[in-house]
Amino acid sequence: MQIPHDTLLSSYRAMRTIREFEERLHVEFATGEIPGFVHLYCGEEASAVGICAHLNETDSIASTHRGHGHCIAKGVAVDGMMAEIYGKKSGVCEGKGGSMHIADLSRGMLGANGIVGGGPPLICGAALSHKLLRDNGVAVAFYGDGASNEGTTLESLNLASVWHLPAVFVLEDNGYGEATGASYACAGSQKARAEGFGMPYLECDGSDFFSVYETAGEAIDHARSGKGPVMMHVHLARWYGHFEGDAASYRRSDEVAKLRAERDCLSSFRERVMQISTVEKEALDRIDAEIRAEIEAAVRQAKADPVPSPQDLIENVYVTY
């Protein structure tokens, strides 16, 4: 598959931004300054980016509790996200949401979600509106292996099929729902589940941007061209604990070191892209430096920005129709 030069660079930039954002949050969370829970997406970057690279601003996505990567890949401003995670008034949700409820409707980002299995029903609604408005849009739900067993997810697969919606169900299978292995908790096969609801099933290696990009192209084309919903099963791995502070004693001690050495989507992207295109190492290094500076500035600003006032608590909570 030929990938345009600009897409390669913007995809690398997005993956590097997510990595730097998450690695920095890991350090900052340990200082105790960040309120609430934080679930890191480190290691899974190629999934969000390889999929969102096919979407435009008016397409919709719904995310999960592990949502920073999806937000960045869909174009939500990094400084506004950082401020949101710090609970500041300058955050994208004015500090009311925090890490698990970052949303930016202007980017088609319907929200991270503290409710496991909360995204799939949301995208049925979004996909139905794309269909009725005939705006050629698609709606994508990211959900985990744990969420794949929720009633809301299974009902959404059914509804999307019954209504023949332009919906893509992206199962991000990192092998664990908190401390429980997917091999223990998920009965049958995901392929059989998709086929049981009458939709095509595609799968890819989530540590390989090119595998995700190609598979997502097929999945999104399918939905956009009016052929109905599709399930895309992405095999990937998270590098940190379930949440920041998780001792992860359910994992083998060498598991993550092996993942970092052998399944790093950024390293494999750098190697591959220099073989198949005219992208040069210097261009990638320049992006790395720019992102480091951008994240540094976002953290500084987020720390310095004011917290919301008590009055802000009741502003912008409800929409009047």
When CB distances are held under 5 to 8 angstroms depending on the partner's kind, the choice from ligand TPP, Mg ion, none that residue 115 binds is: ligand TPP
Q: How far is the CB of 178 from ligand TPP (least distance, A)?
A: 5
Q: According to CB under 5 A, which one of 174, 190, 207, 215 is a site residue for Mg ion?
A: 174
Site residues (CB under 5 A) for Mg ion, limited to 279-298: none
Burial class (CB in 10 A: 0-12, 13-18, 19+), 25: buried
CA 158 → CA 78, 140, 164, 244, 265, distances in Å?
Answer: 35, 15, 10, 34, 33
**Nearest to 238, CA basis, from 269, 206, 213:** 206
**Region from 46-54, 74-82, 173-181, 292-300 binding ligand TPP, contact rule CB under 6 A:** 173-181
List the x/- string, 206-245, binding to ligand TPP by CB under 6 A. Answer: ------------------------------------x---
Residue type at 127 in one-letter notation: A
**Pairing of β 176-177 and β 180-181:** antiparallel
Distance CA 112, CA 62 (A): 7
Nearer Cβ to Mg ion, position 116 or 298? 116
When CB distances are held under 5 to 8 angstroms depending on the partner's kind, the choice from Mg ion, ligand TPP, none that residue 114 binds is: ligand TPP
Q: Is the torsion defined by CA of 86, 89, 92, 93 positive or negative?
A: positive
**Region from 10-18, 87-95, 171-179, 275-283 binding ligand TPP, contact rule CB under 6 A:** 171-179
* Burial profile 246-282: b = 16 or more Cβ within 10 angstroms, e = fewer: eeeeeeeeeebeebeeebbbbebbbeebeeeeebeee
Q: 185: which strand partners?
A: none
State yes or no: residue 45 binds ligand TPP (CB under 6 A).
no
Q: How far is the CB of 100 from ligand TPP (least distance, A)?
A: 9
Distance CA 81, CA 122 (A): 21
# of chain residues touching ligand TPP (CB under 6 A): 16
State yes or no: residue 120 binds ligand TPP (CB under 6 A).
no
The site for Mg ion (CB under 5 A) is made up of 144-145, 174, 176-177
The site for ligand TPP (CB under 6 A) is made up of 64-66, 114-117, 144-147, 174, 176-178, 242
